[in-house]
A = this chain, B = another copy of it.
C-alpha cells in the first residue's frame, strides 16, 4: 500500500473550494464543498469537548441516518459559543447547499473552523455556495482542501489507490488544523472519501479502529478543539463486491494509512513545530496505562522544550512518566531517544547523552520508554514547543 501526499479523483464525488468573503483576508478560499452523485454511506466522529460548536451538533444529528449527499465547510468562524443563533446558522447553511443540489437538508453535514464566539454572514455564505456548486469538479479535491485551512502553512492531502474485492478503488483524504493545537482557529477537520462500496456499519467500525492510531494518536499541546470533526464517505462507484475477510482488512489498512498520514502531516505543520517526535511506551501492564504515560510525556511543556533544545533530558521524561498515576519501577525503566539508550537498570547512561542529543537535531525522531511491567504499548505523535509556538499564540492575536 502506497500512501501519496497528493489529491486524487474519487468516482462518485465532486469537489470545490471558493472565496466567499467569510474571512478577513480578501480573495482567500474559505468555503469548500464535497458533493456525492447520490447519497453516500457515511460515518463520523466528533470532538469530545463538552463545549461543542453548533455545526458539530447539527452534523452529528444529520449523520445519524448513515448517509450523506454533501459536506459544506467554511473557515473563518468556528460558529461555536454562538447559542441558538449559531444552531440556526448551521442549519441554514446546510439547507442552502441542500437546495442548490436538490436533496434533503438532513443529507448535508455542515462544518466550521475559525474564531470561537463569532458568527459568519449567511448571505455571503449562500452566494459562496452558489459559486461552489457551479465550480464542482471531480479533480478539485485540492481546492476543497485549501478552502478549509486556517493557520496551516499548507493543505494536507493523502490518497491511496489499490485493488480491493475485484475492483480498483481510491481513498482520498484531507485535514486542516493541527489537532488540539490551535483552538483559536478552532479545529481539526478531516474528510476521507472513497469510491469503494462500503455499508455504513463497516465505515463506522473502520473509523473506530483507525482513530486510536491516527488522529487520536497525535497531540500538539493537549488542547482539544470544540469543532473537531472527521467524516468518512463511500460512494460505492467502484462497484466492488461486499468487503469481507482479507479484502476488508486491506481496505481498512488503506483508510487507516490515509488517516495516519494526515495525522502525521498535522503534527509536522503544528504551530511553531520544528520536530516530529514519536513517543512509544512499551512494557506497560495495559494499553490504557501505556497511553496515559505516552500522553503525559508528549504534553509536558518541559519535555517539549527539551525536544526543541535537542536536550535528551531524562529527568523531565521520568518526571512526566511518573505523574501519569501509573506504578513505575524506576530500577527497570529503560529510555531511548533517537535509538540511543539514555537510561536503563535504574541508572542514567551519561556517556550516551551527546549522541542522543545529536539524533534530536533531526526533524523526526522517536522516544521509547519501556516500563518493563507487561506487554502493552501505545504510541503518540507530538512536536516540540518552540519560540514560534509562543509567538504565534501570544503575539498574533485577534
> What residues make up the interface of A, taking CB atoms closer than 8 Å to B?
49-52, 78, 80-84, 115-118, 181-184, 186, 221-226, 299-302, 305-306, 308-311, 313-316, 318-328, 330-331, 333, 343, 345-348, 350, 385-387, 389-391, 393-395, 397-398
Contacts and interface: CB of A to CB of B under 8 A. Distances in A.
Given A115-B315, A186-B319, 7 more contacts: A50-B321, A80-B318, A81-B318, A83-B330, A221-B302, A305-B389, A385-B394
A315 B346 contact: no
B183 A319 contact: yes
B315 A78 contact: yes
A328 B47 CA distance: 14
Contacts of A315: 78, 80-81, 115-117, 183-184, 186, 226
Contacts of A305: 389-390, 393-394
Given A226-B322, A315-B184, A393 B348 contact: no
B328 A394 contact: no
Given A81-B314, A328-B50, A323 B390 contact: no
Given A183-B315, A302-B183, A385-B301, A390 B393 contact: no
A387 B387 contact: yes
Contact of A308 (B84, B316, B390, B398): B390
A316 to B, nearest CB: 6
Contacts of A390: 305, 308, 385-387, 389-390
A180 to B, nearest CB: 8
Contact of A50 (B314, B325, B343, B348): B325
Nearest to A49: B322
Contact of A316 (B118, B184, B330, B347): B184
B223 A394 contact: no
Contacts of A321: 50-51
A83 B50 CA distance: 43
25 contacts: A50-B321, A50-B322, A51-B319, A51-B322, A51-B330, A80-B315, A82-B347, A84-B346, A116-B314, A117-B350, A181-B302, A186-B315, A222-B301, A223-B301, A223-B316, A223-B320, A226-B319, A301-B301, A301-B385, A305-B393, A306-B393, A385-B390, A386-B390, A386-B394, A390-B390
A50 B184 CA distance: 35
A115 B80 CA distance: 45
A81 B221 contact: no
A213 to B, nearest CB: 21
A225 B386 contact: no
A313 B78 CA distance: 14
A319 B225 contact: yes
Looking at A116, A183, A319, A321, the one whose CB has the most chain B CB atoms below 10 A away is A319
